[in-house]
């Protein structure tokens, strides 16, 4: 049996962000991870061939750049080995009709690119960026603070220079926003596809701000790529924990939270070990699994019933490739390498794909795709002259004809069909250039990481129209669970998924306040970096 001030269940990036702040504040922290490696959905592994380092889920740390963690250098991540790369171009979209759109690092160049399609749309893009600039402080403030009431969030938007208009954007769908602002179908397709990148149903109310925030984020920070792999972030965070007196253990699955006298007193792991927590337990276990780990009685029936409100968002179908050639996209300026690429022929194709998704169908006719070639900017991802590629489709976990189990029979065929669609948009690359591949259906994603509940790597549908990202479950005050001394962080908490660090930082703030400390104690603490 071990004893620490705080025990953290899970070592995804949010759990580790929380642990890093707690450790810097002087608490003795233990982080326990089920998998053999840390990172969760920010892990990087050699899943195809030795030397090919693939980001298993998250590949772009774009929103993270606007966080106080990075912007104010609160955790001194650079001192612990984290370095970011900013590709140019940031993202490209080739179309089957020979047209293409490129988002360059230079804003004026992107505006010029859109002007080739429509001067109106070029001006509309500049207006979109200006509109986001007017409200981004409000949105970032809400993101990097413990959750508040819906009325307070709306009041913060109303207090911006855009006032009630900003509130309208928030409650619209991304589809409405894109159609309202842009006229050309190619341009509309590009921005609607960008909005899809948080795995939200972009034709549903409450997603309207995604059309502003994601485009502005990509323009400002490109397809922000961690050198060495997405896993460089959790590795840096783990170094902070360890060098401030904490421990990070892998292969240690938390199977039970110990509740004694109505208070979280520690955890038990699958090997029978117990780890006591003198002051707090922090969970990043998926909220749907909490009743089994904490106990329904301890959580209370009101809270357990409230879990029924949680819904998965879009789920992904992922194939990782080891290649002996660099993908180059068929762009109007000529064959071009790019870290990020979107494949989508029209807004109607994207909407048809979403409709098929909701019916539980695998639609392979002109499927929208995300393609990521991190090796295009980071040569450490693959052996010399070789490249990594990730092709992502947006397909359902629950198949209408036979449920999720059907994926094992059809995933190879589906992967092949998606790759054929991808190949139509690149040059100099064929199936002969594939050295190896690793396929993960939505069911496989859940098998690999239980936090990918029903295949969802992005936490869940935040249901912004109903304040799902702001309003906690019954009995859930901020990041505090109904059991005293038990806290929750991760993608299922405010403000949701993506690599933001916000759930981890916000949870740490709440824990520290409850313990009579503060975030300032963690930020101001001297460095403990050792050779």
In tens, the pLDDT along 37-65 reads 999 999 999 999 999 999 999 999 999 99
- Measured CA to CA, the distance from residue 283 to residue 83 in angstroms comes to 28
**Residues near 202 by beta carbon (within 8 Å), at least 6 away in sequence:** 173, 174, 175, 192, 195, 196, 210, 211, 350, 354
Using alpha carbons, list the distances in angstroms from residue 217 to 197, 306, 384, 398.
12, 33, 31, 32
Residue with tokens 């068929």: 330
What is residue 96's three-state secondary structure? coil
**What are residue 4's DSSP bridge partners?**
277
Residue 288 is classified by DSSP as G
pLDDT beyond 50 at 444: yes
pLDDT of residue 232: 98
Pick the CATH number of 2-45+57-82+228-310+460-524 from 3.50.50.60, 3.90.1300.10, 2.40.128.630, 3.40.50.300: 3.50.50.60
> Rounded mean pLDDT of 422-435?
97
Number of Cβ within 10 Å of residue 420's Cβ equals 11
Residues 6+ apart with CB under 8 A from 215: 125, 128, 129, 132, 191, 194, 195
Report residue 454 CA to chain centroid gap: 16
**pTM, full prediction:** 0.95
- For residue 6, give both structure tokens: 């705080």
Over residues 185-210, mean pLDDT: 96
Residue keyed to tokens 């001067």: 119
pLDDT at res. 457: 85
Q: Is 86 exposed, middle or buried (0-12, 13-18, 19+ CB in 10 A)?
A: middle
Burial of 330 (0-12, 13-18, 19+ CB in 10 A): middle
pLDDT-derived band at 313 (thresholds 50, 70, 90) equals: confident
How does pLDDT run across 87-142, given as a tens digit for each residue?
Answer: 999 999 999 999 999 999 999 999 999 999 999 999 999 999 999 999 999 999 99
Give me the residue spans of the domains in the chain. 2-45+57-82+228-310+460-524
DSSP one-letter string for 219-257: HHH-S-EETT-TTHHHHHHHHHHHHTT-EEESS--EEEE
**61 or 497, higher pLDDT:** 61
Note the pLDDT of residue 478. 78
Task: Report the C-alpha gap between 122 and 112 in whole angstroms.
Answer: 7
Distance CA 267, CA 283 (A): 10
* Cα-to-chain-centroid distance, residue 346: 25
Residue 489 in this model has a pLDDT that exceeds 80: yes
Exposed/middle/buried for residue 91 (C-beta within 10 Å: 0-12, 13-18, 19+) = buried
What pLDDT, on a 0 to 100 scale, did the predictor assign at position 57? 96
- Give residue 160's pLDDT band: very low, low, confident or very high (50, 70, 90): very high
Indicate the burial class of 524 (C-beta count within 10 angstroms; 0-12, 13-18, 19 or more). exposed
Q: Which residue has the higher pLDDT, 335 or 309?
A: 335
C-beta separation of 479 from 488 below 8 A: yes
């Amino acid at each position: 049996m071990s004893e620490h001030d705080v025990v953290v269940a899970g070592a995804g990036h949010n759990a580790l962000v929380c642990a890093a702040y707690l450790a810097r504040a002087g608490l003795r922290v233990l982080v326990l991870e089920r998998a053999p490696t840390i990172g969760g959905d920010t892990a990087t592994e050699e899943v195809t061939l030795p030397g090919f380092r693939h980001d298993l889920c998250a590949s772009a740390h774009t929103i993270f750049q606007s966080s106080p963690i990075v912007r104010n250098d609160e955790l001194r991540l650079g001192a612990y080995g984290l370095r970011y790369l900013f590709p140019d171009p940031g993202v490209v979209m080739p179309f089957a009709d020979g047209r293409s759109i490129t988002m360059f690092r230079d804003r004026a160049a992107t505006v010029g690119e859109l002007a080739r399609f429509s001067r109106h749309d070029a001006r509309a893009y500049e207006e979109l960026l200006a509109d986001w600039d007017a409200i981004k402080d409000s949105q970032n403030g809400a993101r990097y603070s413990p959750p508040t009431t819906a009325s307070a969030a709306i009041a913060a938007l109303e207090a911006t220079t855009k006032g009630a208009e900003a509130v309208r954007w928030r409650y619209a769908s991304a589809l409405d926003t894109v159609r309202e602002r842009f006229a050309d179908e190619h341009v509309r397709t590009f921005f609607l596809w960008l909005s899809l990148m948080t795995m939200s149903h972009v034709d549903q109310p409450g997603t309207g701000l995604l059309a502003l925030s994601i485009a502005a984020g990509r323009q400002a920070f490109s397809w922000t790529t961690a050198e060495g792999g997405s896993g460089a972030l959790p590795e840096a965070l783990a170094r902070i924990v360890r060098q401030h007196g904490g421990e990070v253990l892998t292969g240690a699955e938390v199977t039970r939270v110990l509740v004694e006298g109505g208070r979280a007193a520690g955890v038990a792991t699958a090997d029978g070990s117990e780890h006591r927590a003198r002051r707090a337990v922090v969970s990043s276990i998926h909220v749907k699994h909490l009743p089994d780990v904490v106990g329904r009685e301890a959580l209370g029936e009101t809270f357990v019933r409230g879990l029924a409100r949680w819904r998965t968002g879009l789920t992904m179908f992922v194939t990782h490739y080891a290649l002996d050639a660099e993908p180059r996209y068929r762009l109007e300026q000529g064959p071009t390498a790019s870290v990020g690429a979107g494949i989508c022929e029209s807004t109607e194709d994207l909407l048809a794909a979403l409709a098929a998704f909701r019916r539980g169908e695998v639609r392979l006719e002109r499927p929208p795709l995300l393609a990521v070639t991190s090796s295009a900017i980071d040569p450490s991802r693959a052996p010399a002259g070789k490249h990594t590629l990730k092709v992502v489709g947006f397909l359902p976990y629950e198949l209408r004809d036979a449920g999720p189990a059907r994926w094992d029979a059809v995933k190879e065929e589906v992967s092949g069909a998606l790759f054929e669609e991808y190949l139509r948009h690149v040059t100099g690359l064929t199936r002969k250039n594939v050295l190896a591949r690793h396929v993960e259906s939505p069911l496989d994603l859940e098998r690999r990481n239980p936090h990918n509940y029903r295949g969802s790597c992005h936490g869940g549908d935040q249901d912004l129209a109903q304040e799902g990202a702001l309003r906690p479950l019954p009995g859930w005050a901020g990041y505090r669970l109904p059991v005293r001394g038990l806290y929750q962080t991760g993608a299922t908490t405010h403000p949701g998924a993506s690599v933001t660090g916000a759930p981890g930082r916000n949870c740490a703030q709440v824990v520290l306040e409850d313990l009579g400390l503060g975030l300032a104690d963690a930020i101001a603490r001297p460095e403990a970096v050792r050779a």
